[in-house]
Structure 1
Amino acid sequence: MATPPEPIDFREGWEFLEQNGFSPLLDTLEEFGDAKLTFKAGQLVELSLMVYRVCSSKQSAPPPPPQREDLYRRVEKRINQYLEEKVLKAVTEKELHGEFLLKELVKRWNNHCILVGWVSNRFRFLDLYYVKEAVVPKLAVMGFRCFKETVFSQINNDVRHAVLQLVQQERSGQVVDTYLLRCIKDIFVEMGMNILPSQTHESEAAGLQVYEQELEEPFLNSTKEFYRAETAKWATELSFHDFMVKAEQSIEAELTRTRAYLHQKTKNLVRKCCEEEILKHHQEHVLTKESSGLVFMLVENQKDDLQRLFRLFSPMGEYGLSMIAKIYREHIEAEGNALVLAEKSKMEAQREEGGKGKGGASKPEFDCIESLLALHDRYLSLVKECFAESTIFKDATKEAFEAFVNEDFGPTSTAELCANYSDSLLSQNGMGAKMDEDKIESLLDKLVLLLDYLSQKDLFMEFAQKQLAKRLLMERSVSQELERSFIQKLKLKCGPPYTMKLEGMITDINISDEHRKTFREWCNENQDVAPMDTGDNATTTTNSFKVNGIVFNAHVLKSGHWPHYEKEAVKLPSPLYDCIELFQKYYCARTEARVLRWAPTLGKGVLESTAFIGNPKIGTVELTVNTYQICILLMYNEKDELPYQEIYEGLRDQAAPKGTMYLDDDSMKQLLLTLCTKRYPLLTKKSGANGDVYALNVNWAPNKRQKTLPLPSAKITAKEMRGAVYKAVEEDRKHAIESAIVRVMKHHRTLSHQHLVVEVTDKLMQLFTPEPRAIKNRIEELIQRVRPTRKDSDCRFRQRPETEKNFSL
């Protein structure tokens, strides 16, 4: 068993440590800077053993032996002596300044780190058995504290000045030693971190105080001063484009500089400092420059500069982007108002001329909608490509378009124009007939986005419903797939209730197709009816068939989905009447709960005629006409000439109940006029003894076999029709407001008038924007109908108790 080494006298032991440890180590560091050149493995063991012998004592309980404290203090004194005699003297020489001072400091710091490491290893016994008992810093912490108090505190001002001087040289374009600066940064950090007794997350933040106070804060202040002076010249002399290029380059250079030789936590502070001095202080001035500011970029569509603008200001958050968004919104609003004013002028001029648009290609109102779509598409692409779909720019775009999209174009509202435009896209008689489906889909997508800005979506829906009904009933839709697609887009944007009627109309048409098929099967089973031989007849469908020689189809429509039509009676020819009776019998056999209300005047048909011999090449002519025209032309199977009064009486159904509406005299003349036009002279008009007489023009020479006759002019003007739509919308809004009031009151029971108006408005904003006065009127109306009651004392409304209710909610 090995015998432990005997204790040794402190003086003798220290002399050994000084002569064989400190002296050779410090001499080598001064000359070579490498402790490995000084000691061999055996020497290091002897030094560690000597430390043990000096600290050894037979004492087994605290306090620690005095030799250990003496050794600890003697090591501290020796380190301080070296720092004062060698290190401090070397770094405070008058010849050293700037970069040379920094290099010497880095050299001395590296030597000191070697010294501290050597002391910690050789005197480990003190760290293990003395430091904890005496509650003193570990040898490494003590060594770094000595460097800070003896050396660093004496030269930190000079070092900081040298660092800032090198940074300034780099900003001016000179090449500097970034590795040297990074080493200096590490010294500042170590001066705070390595003097802490322990390393924790909390102590790490506290340990950076020296770096923050001595280097980071002065660096940030110098950065502010530098860019304050530079940007003052940039803002005055440079265009906005050049200013942004300079700003972007400078910010990136400062961030690169930070990554190269500053602490990582300084990066955000440097960015914030640069943004404040370069961008914030000059933001309003450079953004509003006439020949190069933000408006100029938007007008010239300079997407690269707009992207750079967003990159620069977006890190500043909402504060940095709010002014840009404000100018952006004001510009869009001004451009939109100018567009609306110009389109109004065009439309007014067109109304005065009474014709179509330029070249007859499209109506002026369609040009207006296309201009709005192009404007919206342009700024939507800017938001997506240049502003990264930022919420603040989306909101600015929405606010700007809402300001001018809802302007009326004379007597026509934007909602009506949008409805007319969609009808033209989806109608065979409109623009959609000349476009492929992908083009129509694209335009419908853009239109739905524009509709989101309308404050009268219910008005748009009223027009769209009437137009869809017309397309479906007259079979003028470009494609039912496009119809469904458009309805689905509206549904996604405005919600399922908004498109419920439109979806119901499409469903009714599909169900009607099923009825045609089942009606044909029913007729084959129950009646002597043969399926139609379609042959080359392009005007019929596979589900059509002949009843008494007539090709017959019927649409079964739910009244709740379709617009209201005035019921007009007409005396149908016997074959048509038989078809109606047969379908009525079929339908009643399928269901007893529903009642059919026929509207034959909304139908159309194809008449085949061999009466016109003007063109020998065409034997049979197929005429596509409405129900009234069918009834009139079939009268000429018996006579070639008919007086006006006979035709008029022939259309009146004598069996109709009293109060039934018929065509008036003016409408009848308009109807006969469609059969006497220069283009379609089926009848000729001449004067007789008892009034006008209409004769069949057998000499008419049609240029092709199939002809579609024009419909008579509307009985009411476009202004009257528009007024009727507006009136219907107003009535619907009254019901919507009342419904919203009831729902709100059902939820709250008691609510102040102001809060009630606010909540009702919020519920209806998706459909239309109700006026406060209209809400108040509906409240008064509901009070009279015994729904909510008013408390006059606090202007509140409450739900009437159950015992007082006349209507259940």
Structure 2
Amino acid sequence: MERKIIELDQGWDYMQKGITKLKKILEGIPEPQFNSEEYMMLYTTIYNMCTQKPPNDYSQQLYDKYREAFEEYITSTVLPSLREKHDEFMLRELVKRWANHKVMVRWLSRFFHYLDRYFIARRSLPALNEVGLTCFRDLVYREVNANARVAVIGLIDKEREGEQIDRALLKNVIDIFVEIGMGHMDAYEGDFEAYMLGDSGEYYSRKASNWILEDSCPDYMLKVKECLKREKERVSHYLHSSSEQKLVEKVQHELLVVYATQLLDKEHSGCRALLRDDKVEDLSRIYRLYNKIPKGLEPVSSVFKQHVTAEGTALVQQAEDVASNQTSSGAGTQEQVLVRKIIELHDKYMAYVTDCFLNHTLFHKALKEAFEVFCNKAVSGSSSAELLAGFCDNILKKGGSEKLSDEAIEETLEKVVKLLAYISDKDLFAEFYRKKLARRLLFDRSANEDHEKSILTKLKQQCGGQFTSKMEGMVTDLTLARDNQANFEEYLHNNPDVNPGMDLTVTVLTTGYWPSYKSFDLNLPEEMVKCVEVFKGFYETKTKHRKLTWIYSLGTCNVNGKFEPKNIELVVSTYQAALLLLFNTADKLNYSEILTQLNLTHDDLVRLLHSLSCAKYKILIKEPNTKTISPTDSFEFNSKFTDRMRRIKIPLPPVDERKKVIEDVDKDRRYAIDAAIVRIMKSRKVLGHQQLVMECVEQLGRMFKPDIKAIKKRIEDLITRDYLERDKENPNMFKYLA
């Protein structure tokens, strides 16, 4: 049985009834909902009209009429209703019309579904859903989006000023901008977002120009923080999430970037003032706000660096002023105070770097560069390397001015080693430290061996094994020397015939580890000569291959002084003892006799005689009785001398070793530069002058800052010694000679 042909007009009339019913439902006119029978009839009508044989296959005509149905409804009903409304009322109408339109698209595309399945698929035409939405876009959206945008942005600005607005309405309108792109964001970004961002920029620019004049930096920052929080809330309530970053950046630009300099440099409340007044919370806020801006932290870290540099430099200047007004005895304690203050300064600002600036590398760098500036300034002629070594000595020696617990000592040593990182002349520190360590070890002045070892471990971690190898050798030497002394005492006990008749302690050291000391051929008194011979005899039983060099300048002796009032034990140096023992056989000796008998230099003898005849304890009486020693003086034993103590120590005037240390370090530096140049040239074979100097500075920089002139001088020296040669054509190129 053949199916009855449905003509286009007849079929479309039937479809129009369904479409009219749908429009009434959308307009809110009382109308019963579609039942399944009506729905099936409408669907079947389209199906039949599309499956008739040509020329009665009306697929194309129905496809066109589908679109026309939307266009007719929009033109007759939707647009007039929108054109008569304005502002918020227009927005509400737009939201309603868009919602209705989506319902209409859903229903009509169900009725015409057969087109979607076959006709559209075969012809690669836009789908029904897309055709429906495109009608709204082309006819409604294009006409009203500009007004809608203006209304929405107006509401956003009202909300920024604290008015209550209908956020749900805004969300629905903004959703239209998103949905009308049908999967693309062009409409939202081009028709709404760009204008909204522009308006936001202008809004915050106006605000910032007022705030910057009336608010302090912390108050301004609080406002910025609040604004950013509000804008993020705005995004979460009604803007599209893709706008958050752009909006935040816009606000940051207007509030933070444009006014960065004015804000951070505010006289009484900017970064400098906050650092000066320790406003940790405000600084943290500045960090958090500027951290999110590219290069935003650079001006903050720059102010931080200047501030720390100024504080440190002031401490150094203060110490310099005090030192120049004080007597020489007080200067030492002042330098101790300075190091202590620099440590406190470092603790304080390191806490800023970790807590306020969350360990950001820029601030670590700023702190380092600031400390490098003032940590390398000299105070009253003493370099920072020397001050630091002196500070350590004061902590580690017995009876130092710092009375600290073990934990506090450990902590302080840790901090000193951290400060050392900022000092460019680490080799100079090493040499001063080694000199002082030697005195502590040799004169039993070290308070605690564990602390001595602990700081060496810390120094090793900071500066490498080469830095501490000699010092570690010194500590080991002392341990070995104690065992050696015990063996010597056992040797004397087993060989009573060689006993020198007095107590003798000898410390044997390894030459390479210790600072170099002068060893003169002092003419020892007989009693002492016997001691030396006995020890030599003992040492040769242990080893034949080692040569002992005696350094009398480091020795001490306890001598029994028989004075008329009472006997007093005198603790003196070996030199002083040798001089005093001359008076066992002579009542009076003149300067030249003493000089000949002891075989000493003029300078050394002047120091000895001064300590025994002009200082606190006058063991010898000098003729004439003046304060200076001259070659015409004569001396006799002061038998009337007495003191309330039974045992007294007679000090020698101190010798300034600074010059010697600096000379030693300079000599070592020459060797280090030579070694570096040869090392570099050996691996590179040919190298330009500039490059060689740069590589040399880089290699040596960990221990000291090499002087460019010194490097040039060493290059010349190596050329004369045939390690390098100049290129014949180019005098700025060097070649390595194997």
Normalised-by-shorter TM-score class: 0.7 to 0.9
* SS of structure 2 residue aligned to 1:130: helix
Q: Which amino acid aligns with 1:75?
A: Y
Greater Cα offset, 246-255 or 136-145: 246-255
Q: In the alignment, which of 286, 298, 319 is matched to residue 343 of structure 1?
A: 319
Match of 1:126 in 2: 115
Q: Which amino acid aligns with 2:117?
A: L
In the superposition, the TM-score normalised over structure 1's length comes to: 0.81
Change (3 A) 1:268 1:606: farther
CA contact (8 A) 2:612 2:620 kept: no
CA contact (8 A) 2:686 2:736 kept: no
Q: How much does 1:472 deviate?
A: 1.6
Greater Cα offset, 624-633 or 506-515: 624-633
Change (3 A) 1:646 1:191: same
Change (3 A) 1:763 1:5: farther
Change (3 A) 1:30 1:356: same
2:556 paired with 1:558: no
Take 1:480 and 1:43, find their aligned partners in 2: how far apart are those partners?
103
Greater Cα offset, 41-50 or 272-281: 41-50
Match of 1:70 in 2: 61
Change (3 A) 1:472 1:179: farther
Q: In the alignment, which of 200, 208, 221 is matched to residue 244 of structure 1?
A: 221
Q: How much does 1:7 deviate?
A: 7.7
Match of 1:534 in 2: none
Partner deviation per Cα, 1:437-476 (whole Å, 9 max, x = no partner): 2222332233223222222222222111111111122221
Q: Which amino acid aligns with 1:573?
A: M
Q: How much does 1:143 deviate?
A: 1.7
Partner deviation per Cα, 1:367-417 (whole Å, 9 max, x = no partner): 222333333333322222222222222222232332333222232222211
Q: Which amino acid aligns with 1:25?
A: L
Match of 1:667 in 2: 607
Take 1:527 and 1:399, find their aligned partners in 2: how far apart are those partners?
64
Q: In the alignment, which of 43, 50, 74 is matched to residue 55 of structure 1?
A: 50
Match of 1:291 in 2: 268
Take 2:450 and 2:502, find their aligned partners in 1: how far apart are those partners?
30
* SS of structure 2 residue aligned to 1:193: coil
Match of 2:669 in 1: 733
Q: How much does 1:119 deviate?
A: 3.5
Q: In the alignment, which of 173, 191, 194 is matched to residue 184 of structure 1?
A: 173
Match of 2:236 in 1: 259
Which runs of structure 2 are paired with 1:172-211 in the superposition (5 Å)? 172-194=161-183, 207-211=184-188
Runs of 5+ unmatched residues, structure 1: 195-206, 530-545, 654-658
Change (3 A) 1:70 1:621: farther
Greater Cα offset, 743-752 or 366-375: 366-375
Change (3 A) 1:713 1:215: same
Q: How much does 1:266 deviate?
A: 1.5
2:454 paired with 1:454: no
* SS of structure 2 residue aligned to 1:210: helix
In the superposition, the TM-score normalised over structure 2's length comes to: 0.88
Take 1:606 and 1:14, find their aligned partners in 2: how far apart are those partners?
132
* SS of structure 1 residue aligned to 2:162: coil
Match of 2:25 in 1: 28
Match of 1:542 in 2: none
Take 1:469 and 1:405, find their aligned partners in 2: how far apart are those partners?
25
Match of 2:133 in 1: 144
CA contact (8 A) 1:567 1:661 kept: no
Which runs of structure 2 are paired with 1:569-608 in the superposition (5 Å)? 569-570=521-522, 571=524, 573=528, 576-577=531-532, 580-581=535-536, 583-588=538-543, 594-604=546-556
* SS of structure 2 residue aligned to 1:316: coil
2:644 paired with 1:709: no
* SS of structure 1 residue aligned to 2:444: coil
Change (3 A) 1:784 1:575: closer
Partner deviation per Cα, 1:169-201 (whole Å, 9 max, x = no partner): 01101112222222222211111134xxxxxxx
Match of 2:289 in 1: 312
Which runs of structure 2 are paired with 1:574-653 in the superposition (5 Å)? 576-577=531-532, 580-581=535-536, 583-588=538-543, 594-604=546-556, 626-628=573-575, 643=588
Q: In the alignment, which of 385, 402, 409 is matched to residue 372 of structure 2?
A: 402
Change (3 A) 1:43 1:72: same
Match of 2:206 in 1: 229
Which runs of structure 2 are paired with 1:463-478 in the superposition (5 Å)? 463-478=432-447
Match of 2:519 in 1: 567
* SS of structure 1 residue aligned to 2:423: coil
Q: Which amino acid aligns with 2:636?
A: V
2:405 paired with 1:436: yes
Which runs of structure 2 are paired with 1:314-329 in the superposition (5 Å)? 314-318=291-295, 320-329=296-305
Change (3 A) 1:341 1:144: same
Q: Which amino acid aligns with 2:392?
A: S
Which runs of structure 2 are paired with 1:386-425 in the superposition (5 Å)? 386-425=356-395
* SS of structure 2 residue aligned to 1:766: coil
Q: Which amino acid aligns with 1:217?
A: A
Runs of 5+ unmatched residues, structure 2: 625-632
Take 1:67 and 1:514, find their aligned partners in 2: how far apart are those partners?
117
Q: How much does 1:695 deviate?
A: 5.4
Length, aligned pairs only: 728
Match of 2:452 in 1: 483
Q: Which amino acid aligns with 1:476?
A: R
CA contact (8 A) 1:788 1:797 kept: no
Change (3 A) 1:177 1:649: same
Q: Which amino acid aligns with 2:465?
A: P
Q: Which amino acid aligns with 1:248?
A: K
Change (3 A) 1:38 1:366: same
Q: Which amino acid aligns with 2:363?
A: F
Match of 2:630 in 1: none
Match of 1:356 in 2: 330
Take 2:239 and 2:436, find their aligned partners in 1: how far apart are those partners?
69
Change (3 A) 1:769 1:10: same
Q: How much does 1:274 deviate?
A: 1.4
CA contact (8 A) 1:7 1:55 kept: no
Change (3 A) 1:567 1:180: same
Take 2:483 and 2:56, find their aligned partners in 1: how far apart are those partners?
108
Change (3 A) 1:640 1:317: farther
